[in-house]
Chains A and B, each alone.
Chain A
Amino acid sequence: MSLTRTDVDKIAFLARIQLSDDEKDRYVHDLNGILALAEQMNAVDTHDTGPMAHPLRMTQRLRADQVTEPDQRERFQGIAPAVEDGLYLVPKVIE
């Protein structure tokens, strides 16, 4: 199975990456090459194998439900492209 330009368009939108026409041609080629590599996985039957969830087979550690972090909103917003009154600014979403 091989990806078409339409597939690449769809994937690029899902990934929220705008592509130029030239880039689309290139990625159709590149992504198909990578997927052909990935398809080598089919050489092995994994019917009776479970997926690996953690390299050391550990479960996620939990912590007590306590407040541990102070409010640092101003500091963190200091590196944002556009903020106003403690809010992040983006183009208008609802007319």
Chain B
Amino acid sequence: MHKKTIAELDRGLRQGDYSSVELTQHYLARIERLNPRLNAYITVDGDRALAAAERADSRRRQGQAGPLTGIPIAHKDIFCTQGLKTSCGSRMLDGFVAPYNATVVERLEEAGVVMLGKTNMDEFAMGSSNETSWYGPVRNPWDETRVPGGSSGGSAAAVAARLCAAATGTDTGGSIRQPAALCGLTGLKPTYGRVSRWGMIAFASSLDQAGPMTRSAEDAALLLQAMAGFDPRDSTSAQEPVPDYLTGIGQDLKGLRIGLPKEYFGKGLDAGVAASIEAAIAEYRRLGAEFRDISLPNSPLSVPTYYVVAPAECSSNLARFDGVRYGHRCQDPRDLTDLYTRSRAEGFGAEVKRRVMIGTYVLSAGYYDAYYLKAQKLRHLISDDFRRAFAEVDLILGPTSPTTAFPLGAKADDPVAMYLNDIYTIATNLAGLPGLSLPAAPAAGLPVGLQLIGDYFQEARLLNVAHQLQKATDWHLASPPSFD
């Protein structure tokens, strides 16, 4: 059962081949057996999952099931779940139980999904390897000595190892797409504002977006359908109608104009990854797409720009963790300052502290113009590059990440080397555009991610273009052999 996609599982549920309770038991047994090798889950709640599965089965008997009803999924531990721990990968929120559900959780619950548990992640979503989690690193199911990517590394490892049918993730600078690439999945970061951020613990509010991490573009369409839409509780939620993402998925690609940014194929790109991307380009040519060379001249500046903007917003967002209203509080504080400084020193890990301090500095008096204002201006230029590109092409294609999964510990002590992993994913967040990663041909036995970037609210086109490649090739069907 675990080898099936959501669309296939739904067929089985409809035909009565198995119930959601049986499906859920099957996944729970796999989690118990295999999760200790991966550390993909922080919290698993079998009783709650089985109760949800029973509700899904009875809903089906009443003829009220939708395409996600009874499907077992996992949520990244950044989404607030009422009555179930939400840690955000941090000691600060160890044991924290949110008093409400995130909109994403609520909408998927309404669609009838079964939540198996909450997945591991880089602390407060700050990281590209899932090594900054308070709960320990996650291992890549393709090679357990390597990282799964981050920050949604637990979600990626869980879906890749078939410990859930799909999972949610969040993407601030590549945190859905990069782990999807490193674990061989389809991961979609929607347009900024497409999916509600309400109840999703904030890292950098002008960049954060939630999206699906799945085994196919079709599954991503099913999940996004339930997640997307206007939410009055998120002041940046887009009031754009949500199209039917499955309707257009079968469209052929004849005459589709795809841009290849030269900046995404330069030095730093691993030769094996480059070869896989070339093979995908050749496949798209056969499918009728036309390629054009384009330039995003300011994209090399996206990493420095991001590592000013994101820490600035994070330092402001994480100011709420003060040891007073919720979260970790130090023992026997001497005075209020001691309460704040010690609670935060104990509650935050090294990477979070680095980013909070960088953010504090770039926003402080005397440095604001040189760093934060400069970065916000560059963001304009980076976003204008895309505007010019989309006047000429329908879609932009390139690698998701410069390399395949790297060994655990390889970059853990060098923040700048780690940041450079995000070189191809960050510009999309800075511009607020949708981006999707899907598996290309593997390189040396490890998954390679192909990135598609669309114009604003073009998620349907991204899903269509990804689905067509998945119909023509079997790259997305590969699964890690030792998690059969």
Instruction: State the Cβ distance, A15 to closest chain B Cβ, in Å.
Output: 4
How many Å from the CB of B132 to the closest CB on chain A? 13
B329 at the binding interface (Cβ < 8 Å):
yes
Instruction: Specify the chain B residue showing the minimal Cβ separation from A76.
Output: B99
- With A16-B337, A56-B192, A79-B96 as known contacts, state yes or no: A46 contacts B356, CB within 8 Å: no
Interface residues on A, range: 35 or more
Bound Cα distance from A35 to B357, whole angstroms: 11
Q: How far is the CB of A23 from chain B (nearest CB, A)?
A: 8
Task: Answer whether residue A80 sits at the interface, using C-beta atoms and an 8 A cutoff.
Answer: yes
From B265-273, B341-349, B388-396, give the one contacting chain A.
B341-349
Q: Which residues of B contact A27 (CB under 8 A)?
A: 353-354, 357
Q: How far is the CB of B351 from chain A (nearest CB, A)?
A: 9
> What residues of chain A lie closer than 8 Å to B235, measured between beta carbons?
60-61
Structural contact, B377 and A46, CB atoms closer than 8 A? yes
Looking at B239, B304, B342, B354, which has the most chain A CB atoms within 10 Å of its CB? B304
Chain B stretch 333-379: residues in CB contact (< 8 A) with chain A: 333-342, 344-345, 348, 350, 353-354, 356-362, 364, 371, 373-379
Known: A12-B357, A18-B345. A81 touches B329 (CB 8 A): yes
Question: Considering the complex, which residues of chain A in the window 21-75 have a beta carbon less than 8 Å from any beta carbon of chain B?
Answer: 23, 26-27, 30-31, 33-44, 46, 49-56, 58, 60-61, 63, 72, 75
Task: Give the A-B pair count, Cβ closer than 8 A.
Answer: 166
Complex CA distance for A76 and B480, rounded to whole angstroms: 43
Q: Mask for B382-401, Cβ within 8 A of A = 1, else 0?
A: 01000000000000000000
**A44 with B378: CB separation less than 8 A:** yes
- Residue picked from B193, B207, B308, B357, most chain A C-beta under 10 Å: B357
- Chain B contact residues: helix, strand, loop or mixed: helix
Q: What residues of chain B lie closer than 8 Å to A3, measured between beta carbons?
A: 361
Say if the beta carbon of B37 comes within 8 Å of chain A: no
Contact of B360 with A11 in the complex, beta carbons under 8 Å: yes
Check A17 against B99 for contact (C-beta < 8 Å). Answer: no
- Contact in complex: B304, A37 (CB < 8 Å): yes
How distant is the Cα of A55 from the Cα of B376 in the complex, in angstroms? 10
Contact B415 A91 (CB under 8 A): no
Whether B419 is near chain A, meaning CB under 8 Å from some CB there, is yes
Binary interface encoding of chain B residues 72-109 relative to chain A, with 1 for a CB under 8 A from any of its CBs, else 0: 00000000000000000000000011010000000000
A86 at the B interface (CB under 8 A)? no
**B336 x A34 contact (CB < 8 A):** no
Nearest chain A residue, comparing its CB with the CB of B338:
A91
A-binding segment of B14-22, B59-67, B170-178, B319-327: B319-327
User: Which residues from chain A contact B236 at a C-beta distance below 8 Å?
Assistant: 54, 58, 60
Q: How far is the CB of B145 from chain A (nearest CB, A)?
A: 26
Contacts of A19 in B (CB 8 A): 345, 353
| Cross-chain contact A56 with B345 (CB below 8 angstroms) | no
User: Are the CB atoms of A41 and B326 closer together than 8 Å?
Assistant: no
- Say whether B51 faces chain A, with CB atoms less than 8 Å apart: no
B307 within 8 A of A: yes
CA distance A36 to B417 in the complex (A): 13
- Are B419 and A37 in contact, CB atoms less than 8 angstroms apart? yes
Is B99 a contact partner of A79 (Cβ separation < 8 A)?
A: yes
- Say yes or no: B379 contacts A52, CB within 8 Å: yes
A79 in contact with B371 given A56-B193, A90-B324 (CB within 8 Å) = no
The 8 Å CB contact of A17, one of B97, B353, B379, is B353
Residue in contact with B416 in the complex, picked from A37, A46, A79, A82, CB distance below 8 Å: A37
Q: Does B301 contact A (CB under 8 A)?
A: yes
A50 to B377, CA, bound (A): 6
Partner of B360, one of A14, A78, A82: A14
Find the B residue at minimum CB distance from A60: B235
Q: Which of B193, B337, B373, B415 sits near A30, CB closer than 8 Å?
A: B415
Nearest CB in chain A: distance from B305 CB, A: 6
**CB of A17, distance to nearest CB on chain B (Å):** 5
A residues with a Cβ closer than 8 A to B are 3, 8, 11-19, 23, 26-27, 30-31, 33-44, 46, 49-56, 58, 60-61, 63, 72, 75-76, 78-82, 88, 90-93
